[in-house]
Amino acid sequence: MLYLEVLIGTIAAFLLGMLWYTALFGKAWQAETKLTDEEANSNMVMVHGLAFLMMFVLSNGVNFIINMHTLEEQTFSHGALHGAMAAAMFALPAVAINYLYQRKSLKLFLIDGAYLILYLALSGGVMAALKLG
C-alpha cells in the first residue's frame, strides 16, 4: 500500500497543479515566464510525465516523514502539516536560490512557491488520511 498512497497523493497534487497553472494563475505564470502559447504547449507528454515523476519523488519524501509517526497521529491535517513544512524548509529555499540567480520575479516565486506548499500539504494530507482506511 506504501506506493499506492504516494501515487494517490501525487495524483491529487498533480490535479491541483492543473487547476493552479490554468484557471487560477495560468496567464500570470505564463507572462512571468515569458513563454508563448506555442512554447507552453509543446512537448506536453514529456513535460507532464517528468513533472509527475518528480512530484512522486517529493511525495515519497513526505510519506517517509509521515511514516515516522504512529498510526494515531496520521490524520489529514498531520500529513498536510508535514507536507507544508517539507515545502517550506526544503523546496522553497531551493527554488528561491535558483530564482535569485536567474533573476526571476517575486511574482513568479509567489505563484510557484505557494503551489509547492499547497501541493505538498495536499499530498501529505491525502497520504496520511489513506493510512487510516
Grid cell 513533472 in the structure block, residue: 51
* Distance between CA atoms of residues 54 and 35, nearest Å: 22
Question: Residue 77: what pLDDT?
Answer: 93
Q: Looking at residue 133, what is its pLDDT?
A: 63
CA distance 64 to 20: 26
In this prediction the pTM is: 0.91
pLDDT at 46: 96
Q: What is the pLDDT of residue 2?
A: 63
Contact between 58 and 91 (Cβ < 8 Å)? yes
Q: Can you give the pLDDT at residue 1?
A: 56
Residue 53 near residue 128 (C-beta atoms within 8 A): no
pLDDT beneath 70: ranges in the chain: 1-2, 132-133
